[in-house]
Chains A and B, each alone.
Chain A
Amino acid sequence: MGVKTWIEGWPVYRQLTGGDPLGRAAAVKSRRSDTLAPRSATADKVVKSICPFCAVGCGQNVFVKADEVVQVEGDPDSPISRGRLCPRGSSTLQLVTGSAREYKVLHRRPHGTDWEELDLDTAMDMIADRVIATRREGWQWEEDDARVRRTMGLASLGGATMDNEENYLLKKLFTALGAIQIENQARI
């Protein structure tokens, strides 16, 4: 190794002499890091998305490799965010792929002391049965001689984190069931 090569291998030297005085780019690369590629570079595809946190609506690019989300970054094309994401938006990869995600249906029996696992389709049948029964129990045709055609047995809270299409189906189904107690974070 010549002296020149040895000196140039020293990051501080490169920092002082090159175009990276703050040492945040090329100056601090090692031989190993020089060979690394970002996850975004090796992704199979980039899917256009929108940040799921607040209502600013920053654009996101979702990088997918082998049917897994491997990176989420700000979308530079967005006129709203111009590629930026805040601390919450920057944590999106962990939100969608991280340890906090639950993937199993859980059931707590009345008076039970712990969760039990339940098959998804069975759970859906049980929930449908409970909706039908509770709706009937709380049914009212009239109140104070005026027609109301509704059930007061059921309620729902949530929607501000959901898509428009999801809110639409939920309001449509609840209204057809005659369930009027449907609310979301907009009230809070």
Chain B
Amino acid sequence: MTDRNDFLSREKFMAELWRYKKGSVTRRHFLGVTGLGVAAGVLGTAMPGLRSAAHAQGSIGDRVVVASWPNYHDPANFDAFSSETGAAVDLNVFGSNEEMLAKLQAGGSGWDVFVPTNYTITTYVEEDLIEPLDLSLLPNYDPASFDPRFADAGTVNGVVYAVPRNWGTTGFVVNTANLGGLPKPTTWKEFWDMTKAEFSGRTMVHDYQLTTIGNALKYFGYSFNSIDPAELAEAEKLLLEVKPHLFGITSDYQPSMRSGDAWMSIAWTGDGLQLHRDMPEIDYVLGKEGGELWSDFFAIPKGAPHRDAAYALINYLLAPDVNAKEVMFHGYPVADARVNTILPAEMLNDPIMYPAAELLDALEFGAAVTLTDPNRAELMARFKSA
């Protein structure tokens, strides 16, 4: 079970077959990876391949503590994990990567698994807060089936610290029923201008410096990641002007959007999709100027109290069939080709999950320096306390 090159799950086989059919791998690769070229009988022995290694060895303890994001996990999958392994899952949600980092820096977070975003992982490594992953305990993780664009950030100096969970974009949601004849906004400029005028008192921004400052920078056409003091000063001026017109500053904006208290909010892909699915009048918009493209990862913090359970849970959630259920719940795209073979076609064609290429091309990944830049941190704190 430990040597993944010799054994192959049904799902992985299907994924490889799918990739082969699509022409993204050669016949030789296909036969090599699947082992069909070597021994046809291998498949049979590998069929029960979805058991987690730790679980197969015995008890993983009775609990596992997860730090993640709002509206991000299907509770049914956690329940299934618990009934299968006997380990109950405790989910803590956070509003920003800064908040997660602060908690880990203060020591004794008690987490077993956390979900950091691409640009933060080098900092966690530098600060010695994150555990290198033992991939032999994650048989369901298949690097070959992941799009490296969304997976590479998990590897620092050749060591794998985090495995990709899903990716997404940062745009905004707008309740079109409240537009009152106005055209639907399509740019960050319109987002901020409308907040100051027609949508006064009805807009929310994240309690998260990266996206709130980043998209204020976009108003002026600057980089989402800018740490230039002059550009940040302009963004601050805009944010302070907008502040009195905001409904709230929070990273969990779904409840207020659903209740109708708020009409517009900075939002992530999956929240956009979940809201649009339940309330078709709410649209998800990617600002034409650009904004953030990101990828989230599973990682294990140093000193995790239930390490075996952490590996078991990550491995469980990476199983393509489980991951597909997660996607159907949260509505974020995954970079795992095996999952995409299972997902229904309408999800794979969903314009919220997979935006048009020209919109996607304008987006930037967050940069490590934005996480640690003291000026951005202080700007956000000033904005909030203003």
Verify that A and B bind, or say they do not. Answer: no
Residues of chain B at the chain A interface (Cβ within 8 Å): none
Residues of chain A at the chain B interface (Cβ within 8 Å): none
